[in-house]
Each structure stands twice: as structure tokens, then as C-alpha cells.
């Protein structure tokens, strides 16, 4: 999905689920939006950690060395689509074959090169491995935004890569100076 050329692209932004969003796949979620264009949108839920598999278990399954790895990467549940597919969201200081540059600071890589580099002690400075992703068809995210299902804000890399997932939703709202207790669950127009 190419980056939207209009000023309305949310590529590289955080989507923060509004309290009224009761879909169990997205309730209380914070999503890093990797692509948003007229063709649709794709993002990764960044506040749902996965206990299993561990990075070491994943390396064994993929037959990648070295095991144990020289560096670790946290695994998260990236969304309800294609749970068996992995995406590494990482700082743009490293790119490999098939890396998609989201913006000047962030990139997305779905090839095994990045996992091998991390296991060897190299690779990007900051990274997280998402299994699955969140996807929207043409115009679907725009409609959900108009229905007040999501708030969007600039992505803070410290928040994106922070391992404290339990408070990420509240901290994302706080970065917008919003108290979640004051958010209405009803949509409306003034």
C-alpha cells in the first residue's frame, strides 16, 4: 500500500481506540499505522504482548541461528489478520530486502533477514515483532474515524517500543492531553 498523497494520510500515526469501540480485536488498543492510502490501511496493535512463542522458540521453528540469540525482540499480537505472518516494526537505522520505509524514523520488514540480524546481535536499534496485523479496506478507516471509533496522534517512538504495554493506551491518550475518564462513549456532531 503506497503512502497517501493527500494531507489526510495517517501513515506513521498512532490510532487510539475510543472507549465506545467494543470490538474485542480492538478494544483498548493502540495501533501504529504503517500504511494509509486510497487502497486501504494496515497497522500493528502495539499494546498486546505475546507470551508464546518466545523469540528463541520462534528462531527454532524458523531454523534460524544463533540459538540462543545474542539480542532479543519482544513479540506482540499485531492484529486479527494472518496470525501466522510476522512483521518487524523497527527504527529506520536498519533496512533490508523488502523493508518498507514508513517515514524517516520507522520501517517495517516482513522478511527473515531482520530476525537473523537481531539474533546475531545486529539489526535495528529498536524493534518489535508483531504476529498478525490490522487491516482496513478502501475508505473503511476513514469511515471509522468519522464515526469517532479512533483518535489519531503523532507516533512517539519511545511509546511504540516501550515494553510496558499495560499502560500504553492511557499514556497515548495522555500524550494528547486527554483524560480517558472524560471521554464520552457517544458520538455526535456539534
pTM: 0.90
**H helix or E strand, kind and range, residue 116:** helix 112-119
Please check whether residue 136 is in contact with residue 41, taking contact to mean a CB–CB distance below 8 angstroms.
Answer: yes
- The packing angle between helices 112-119 and 55-62, to 10°, is 120
pLDDT of 109 strictly over 90: yes
Say what the pLDDT of residue 185 is.
54
* Domains of the chain, CATH where assigned: 13-182 (3.40.1740.10)
**H helix or E strand, kind and range, residue 32:** strand 30-37
Q: What is the rounded average pLDDT of the residues 30-50?
A: 97
Amino acid at each position: 500500500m503506497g503512502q497517501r498523497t493527500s494531507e489526510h494520510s495517517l501513515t506513521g500515526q498512532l490510532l487510539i481506540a475510543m472507549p465506545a469501540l467494543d470490538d474485542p480485536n480492538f478494544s483498548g488498543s493502540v495501533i501504529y499505522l504503517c500504511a494509509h492510502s486510497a487502497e486501504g490501511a494496515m497497522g500493528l496493535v502495539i499494546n498486546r504482548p505475546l507470551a508464546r512463542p518466545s523469540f528463541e522458540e520462534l528462531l527454532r521453528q524458523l531454523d534460524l541461528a544463533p540459538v540462543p540469540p545474542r539480542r532479543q525482540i519482544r513479540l506482540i499480537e499485531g492484529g486479527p489478520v494472518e496470525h501466522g505472518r510476522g512483521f518487524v516494526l523497527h527504527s529506520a537505522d536498519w533496512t533490508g530486502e523488502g523493508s518498507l520505509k514508513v517515514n524517516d524514523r520507522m520501517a517495517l520488514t516482513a522478511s527473515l533477514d531482520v530476525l537473523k540480524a537481531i539474533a546475531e546481535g545486529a539489526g535495528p536499534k529498536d524493534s518489535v515483532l508483531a504476529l498478525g496485523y490490522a487491516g482496513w479496506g478502501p475508505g473503511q478507516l476513514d469511515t471509522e474515524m468519522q464515526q469517532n471509533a479512533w483518535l489519531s496522534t503523532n507516533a512517539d517512538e519511545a511509546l511504540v517500543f516501550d515494553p510496558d504495554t499495560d499502560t500504553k493506551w492511557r499514556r497515548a491518550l495522555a500524550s494528547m492531553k486527554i483524560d480517558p475518564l472524560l471521554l464520552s462513549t457517544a458520538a455526535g456532531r456539534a
